[in-house]
Structure 1
Amino acid sequence: MDVELPWGPGTASGVGSLPYTDPMEATRVVLGELPDLPHLPELPTRGPGADMVGRSCALLVGLGVDLQPAGWRLTAAPGRDQRRARSTLGQDLDALEELTQGYTGPLKVQVAGPWTLAASVELPRGGRVLGDHGARRDLAQSLAEGLTEHLADVRRRVPGASLVLQVDEPSLPAVLSGAIPTPSGFSRYRSVDNPEAEALVREVVSAADAQGAIPIVHCCGSEVPFELLVRGGARGLSFDMARVRDADVEALAAAVEQGVTLFVGAVPAVPGPEDASTKPSREGPRGPSDLEVTRAVLRFWRTLGFPEETAARGCVVTPSCGLAGAEPAWTRTVLTLVRKVAAHLDDRPDSATAPDDERS
């Protein structure tokens, strides 16, 4: 797979969500900490419609949704909550447009994938869209059409950007294994076979391709179906490095050989016990050192069978997952770490990114 990538070697990026409520503040943080591959922040603490599923519902074309006690539900016409979600997205895009005047380079936006959306949204009479073959196909088509409009809008607002679309599919492993519970909780929805799962992923990925955006797929769980995602058209795979199983190594190595970039989630999205017990610096909790994380990424890359010197081109360094559940101080720590680690992979001797244990 020969794809011209809009980012260079030694790049870091975020996953999507951040623990802020002000889109201007969040966008400034992203642009400052992740200048090589910034992203449109998701701010779920702002309320319904600002989270991953709500933002994706805002993009739907020809399908109305509203927020019920059990979650988002399809309706005959757009409801108040869908209109509010669209307004919230518009505010986020306004902040992005204002703060990226004159920007040129890659820019990532995120959307919930068709299977995560189908597992999250209810039918008008109850039960998840996942349980209705026709409804889940209609939902994927509506999402793809909405994405076409959304990407065109982002391109208009940030004309110098080379767009990257991240499709978030945290529910896909559970969909494939038949682990999504029904509303009663006493049974599970039937598992979806791989060809159908691949087809709906491709439906959404094709919308990115049609707009000239690089499509990547993110899943920070375990048992990620990497081969299915590559067959579905993903040109990048985003995952939590700590959850990669021995059984995944062959699939990831094959993906790299096809030109797929690995978005390696190398820094925990929330601090572990060892980080919580460490005396924080003035900038916030220290977390692992950038040198430790760099070594872990290089070990992982070698496990896939590739020489260390190619890691900077084959990997984009990210947090392990979204940062909505983190404290702002930890968020800064994580974003600084991924940027430093990416620079180390590219062996850039920059004083701002010198390994922690080499600084006085």
Structure 2
Amino acid sequence: MTAATGIGSMPGDDAAAVAEATRTVLDSLPDLPHLVELPGRGATASMTGRGLAVLAELGADLQPAGWRLTGGGAGVDHRRARSLLAQDLDVLEEQAQGLSGSFKIQVAGPWTLAATVERPRGDKLLADAGARRELAQALAEGVRDHVRDVRRRLPDVTRLVVQVDEPALAAVLDARVPTASGFGRHRTVHPPEASDALGWVLGAATEAGGEAWVHTCAAGTPLGLLRGAGARGLAVDLSLMTAADHDALGEALEAGDSVVLGIVPTTAAAAGPEAGERALVERVERWLDMLGIDPGTVSGQLLVSPACGLAGADVAWSRRALALSSDTARRLS
């Protein structure tokens, strides 16, 4: 049957909001709930901060320009990021007692981290081939430990999806990431290197007992590269897909992989008549018809979700967006 899920982020800026968001996700997305992320709490709870919290061995601290590796131990903000992740997992463990079936966690990918974190002496890790390799390997080891920890906390969950978020990958491959001065751009990373580093992280998730997916809400991300690196699921914003992307998603479904179609607007302001449940169902059915795919043959692989994270929504719309995703999936089933 068609299922619904969320991308990860939710609105809120304190511990009470974490508990509320966790309850909302568990109630609204029974088929594939996820660990909530609340970047409204600041840089230590952002996608980059959460990714660094998972990182093994390497330390980081927060500078005026953003996150930077220290070359030594974790700084106070890095420790804060790890503490927030542990607290969120504690809330999840308390509220999800007895949860079985499927669950999803998210982590920033190696190329998004390399494009947003600086080396100890400045400028992005992206500028240094050795540094970005070390980062990817440390992230892979951290993901392995993270998956084991979540499995320990949720012992009855039989399917643990690990969603690797790579919104910056397209910019990395196209040499669109600015240097520290802002006047230049970092050199392109060639696809084989990009695939290898991503593959280390996806492979670590799989080895630890997870099911590796990749999410991107950026246009131009090569979906074939993601699958070649080991992704067994692709989560995308359907409105950004090109004809080639549609073909790649169809190939993924035909190969037995999962596809998450981001179709629900992420804010109330972006919602229009096309955001109703019936219109969303028709949109998915038209997409499947365009690809020549019988809905009944992929119902167990196809999921629907908001187009991206919901951190920019208000609480009311975040609940509505998840409910629309769930209702749309139910009607498609």
Could you tell me which amino acid in structure 1 is paired with residue 260 of structure 2? F
Q: How far, CA to CA, are the matches of 2:98 and 2:296 in structure 1?
A: 33
Equivalent residue for 1:6? none
**148, 160, 168: which one pairs with 1:163?**
160
- Kindly indicate whether residue 57 of structure 2 is the aligned counterpart of residue 91 of structure 1: no
**270, 293, 308: which one pairs with 1:321?**
308
CA displacement at 1:273 relative to structure 2: 5.4
Equivalent residue for 2:25? 30
1:312 and 1:342 in contact (8 A); partners too: no
1:267 and 1:318 in contact (8 A); partners too: yes
- Kindly indicate whether residue 177 of structure 2 is the aligned counterpart of residue 185 of structure 1: no
1:163 and 1:214 in contact (8 A); partners too: yes
Q: How far, CA to CA, are the matches of 2:290 and 2:121 in structure 1?
A: 49
Equivalent residue for 2:7? 15
Equivalent pairs, count: 328
Q: How far, CA to CA, are the matches of 1:308 and 1:100 in structure 2?
A: 32
Deviations 1:195-233 (A, max 9, x none): 001001100001111111111000011112100000000
Equivalent residue for 1:151? 147
Question: What is the root-mean-square deviation of aligned Cα atoms in Å?
Answer: 1.3
CA displacement at 1:48 relative to structure 2: 2.3
Equivalent residue for 1:49? 44
1:59 and 1:150 in contact (8 A); partners too: yes
What is the correspondence of 1:107-118 to structure 2 with a 5 Å cutoff?
Answer: 107-118=103-114
Give the secondary-structure state (helix, strand or coil) at the position aligned to 1:313: coil
Q: Which has the larger radius of gyration?
A: 1
Equivalent residue for 1:211? 208
TM-score normalised by L of structure 2: 0.96
2:253 and 2:298 in contact (8 A); partners too: no
Deviations 1:108-162 (A, max 9, x none): 0000000000001000111100110000000011111111111111111110112
Q: How far, CA to CA, are the matches of 2:301 and 2:103 in structure 1?
A: 18
Q: How far, CA to CA, are the matches of 1:80 and 1:101 in structure 2?
A: 32
1:215 and 1:234 in contact (8 A); partners too: yes
CA displacement at 1:337 relative to structure 2: 0.3
CA displacement at 1:298 relative to structure 2: 1.2
Equivalent residue for 2:326? 339
Structure 2 CA distance for partners of 1:10 and 1:253, relative to 1, 3 Å: closer
- Kindly indicate whether residue 256 of structure 2 is the aligned counterpart of residue 259 of structure 1: yes
CA displacement at 1:304 relative to structure 2: 2.1
CA displacement at 1:308 relative to structure 2: 3.0
**122, 130, 133: which one pairs with 1:134?**
130
Give the secondary-structure state (helix, strand or coil) at the position aligned to 1:294: helix
Percent identity over the alignment?
50
2:147 and 2:209 in contact (8 A); partners too: no
Could you tell me which amino acid in structure 2 is paired with residue 216 of structure 1? W
CA displacement at 1:40 relative to structure 2: 0.2
Q: How far, CA to CA, are the matches of 2:125 and 2:79 in structure 1?
A: 21
What is the correspondence of 1:229-240 to structure 2 with a 5 Å cutoff?
Answer: 229-240=226-237
1:267 and 1:319 in contact (8 A); partners too: yes
Structure 2 CA distance for partners of 1:213 and 1:67, relative to 1, 3 Å: same
Q: How far, CA to CA, are the matches of 1:224 and 1:268 in structure 2?
A: 20
Q: How far, CA to CA, are the matches of 1:144 and 1:246 in structure 2?
A: 32
Structure 2 CA distance for partners of 1:73 and 1:261, relative to 1, 3 Å: same
Give the secondary-structure state (helix, strand or coil) at the position aligned to 2:77: helix
Give the secondary-structure state (helix, strand or coil) at the position aligned to 1:186: coil
Deviations 1:56-103 (A, max 9, x none): 101111111000111100002110001000110011000000011111
Unaligned 5+ segments in structure 2 are: none
Could you tell me which amino acid in structure 1 is paired with residue 211 of structure 2? I
Q: How far, CA to CA, are the matches of 2:270 and 2:160 in structure 1?
A: 37
**264, 268, 271: which one pairs with 2:265?**
268
2:265 and 2:307 in contact (8 A); partners too: yes
CA displacement at 1:190 relative to structure 2: 0.6
2:103 and 2:160 in contact (8 A); partners too: yes
Could you tell me which amino acid in structure 1 is paired with residue 198 of structure 2? V
**105, 118, 121: which one pairs with 1:122?**
118
**257, 277, 298: which one pairs with 1:290?**
277
Give the secondary-structure state (helix, strand or coil) at the position aligned to 1:66: strand
Could you tell me which amino acid in structure 2 is paired with residue 79 of structure 1? G
Q: How far, CA to CA, are the matches of 2:163 and 2:106 in structure 1?
A: 5
1:298 and 1:311 in contact (8 A); partners too: no
2:10 and 2:36 in contact (8 A); partners too: yes
Could you tell me which amino acid in structure 2 is paired with residue 123 of structure 1? R
Give the secondary-structure state (helix, strand or coil) at the position aligned to 1:229: helix
1:301 and 1:311 in contact (8 A); partners too: no
